[in-house]
Structure 1
Amino acid sequence: MENLLSIFVKSIFVDNMIFAYFLGMCSYLAVSKTVKTSTGLGLAVIFVLGITVPVNYIINNYLLGPGALAWLSPSLVDMDLSFLSFIMFIAVIASMVQLVEMIIEKFSPALYSSLGIFLPLIAVNCAILGGSLFMQEREYVNITEATVFGLGSGVGWFLAIVGIAAIREKLKYSNVPAPLRGLGITFIITGLMGIAFMTFMGIKL
């Protein structure tokens, strides 16, 4: 249980997709103009990461990895299909994003309209693929750890985009120098938030 808590907390604060690895910056910067749209996209990212990371864990461990096909036949023990990881991971991510897009369009047309092109672009959001690749690299021992990591990574991305959206809403009433208005001040604040999140590296779990 302590190990799962450690993975969850580290994936949110220490290994934050935005502030530690700068993954998913395109959607982070483009959609974070209002808290409402940022919340919708953040929840969609949590859902997609929470589903795709464990699914890709199963695919990696029982189909693609070295010796992963041994459960089918002893003659396949030397089979290594890891070179297919990228295309398989992306196929799973694209399928899940399509599902999320259909659900949001059905139950929240206003949110679907406000997210616009950035909703289907979750499929090419490098934070989503990064979650599966980090899962593969860190070699989690079971699907529970992979799922916790996926959910934690999604929550970390959610906190990052909602946090910057709340700040950007307040900046509308601030006297920001003209050359820095828009993305300029957003980059500066993102850097400061990244430095703030670095303080969590001192957490011992």
Structure 2
Amino acid sequence: MSEYLLLFMGAVVINNFVLTRFLGLCIFFGVSKNFDASAGMGMAVTAVITLSSIFAWLVHHYILVPLNFTFLTTIVFVLLIASFVQLLEMVVKKYTPNLHRMWGIYLLLIATNCVVLGVPLINVESDFTLAKSIVNAFGSGVGFALAIVLMASCREKLRLADVPKSLDGLGVAFIIAGCLALSFLGFSGMIK
């Protein structure tokens, strides 16, 4: 049990894809202007990463490896992820049109987000079991959600601050992201 907890916490904090590996920054900077949109996007990315990792693991271990088609791993994973994102877009558009409008193009960018593809690939390359793949995927999604919600919180507070014109917008967002990244990198020496 402690092995799974360490894997989960490592994925959330120590190996956070956004703040320690610097992947998935397009959605991170694009959606983090609004707290509600960020929280929803964090949940959506977590769901897509987790579901695609489960199906990617199953397809890899039960279809690609037995048929010796492992060279198709990346292509198959991209197709799985694109399918989940299309399904997510249809559900969100039907049931929460306001959230669909807030996310805009960033919803479709989940399909091309390197975090969403990187997690299933890392799970397969690390030879994780299905349970470990699920824990790592869910932890990576939670880590992404944590990073984007923290960023959105800081950016919403900065709307009330007197930010110099030259740093307004993405300039101050990059500084905040750097400070968040430094704080998350501080956790990397805790587990050895």
* Fold shared per TM-score above 0.5: yes
1:41 alignment counterpart: 41
Deviations 1:76-100 (A, max 9, x none): xxx5312101110000001111111
Q: What do the CA deviations read for 1:25-60 (whole angstroms, capped 9, x no partner)?
A: 001101110101111111100100110112111112
- Give yes or no for the alignment of 1:192 onto 2:186: no
The answer for the alignment partner of 1:138 in structure 2 is 126
- Taking the aligned partners of 2:101 and 2:164, their CA distance within structure 1 comes to 32
Secondary structure of residue in 1 paired with 2:105: helix
Q: How many residue pairs align between the two structures?
A: 192
Opposite residue 80 of structure 1, the aligned amino acid is: N
User: 2:165: which partner in 1?
Assistant: 178
Deviation at 1:22, TM superposition (A): 1.0
- Give the TM-score of the pair, scaled to structure 1: 0.90
Determine the C-alpha separation between the residues in 1 that align with 2:142 and 2:24: 13
Matched, 1:54 2:54: yes
Instruction: Look up the equivalent residue of 1:88 and give its one-letter code.
Output: V
Deviation, 1:177, is: 1.4
Deviation at 1:63, TM superposition (A): 2.1
Q: Partners in 2 of 1:17 and 1:31 — Cα distance?
A: 16
Q: Which amino acid aligns with 1:168?
A: R
Letter in 1 for 2:150: G
**Which sits farther off after the overlay, 35-44 or 129-138?**
129-138
- 1:74 corresponds in structure 2 to none
Structure number with greater Rg is 1
Q: What is the alpha-carbon distance in structure 2 between the residues aligned to residue 100 and residue 203 of structure 1?
A: 37
Give 1:199 deviation, angstroms. 1.6
Which of 129, 153, 172 is the matching residue for 1:166? 153
* TM-score when normalising by structure 2: 0.96
Q: Indicate whether 1:30 and 2:17 are aligned.
A: no
Please give the alpha-carbon distance, in whole angstroms, between the structure 1 residues aligned to 2:89 and 2:45: 11
CA separation in 1, counterparts of 2:60 and 2:190?
31
Moved over 6 A (4+): none
Structure 2: state its 5+ residue gaps. Answer: none
Cα distance, 1:203 vs structure 2: 3.0
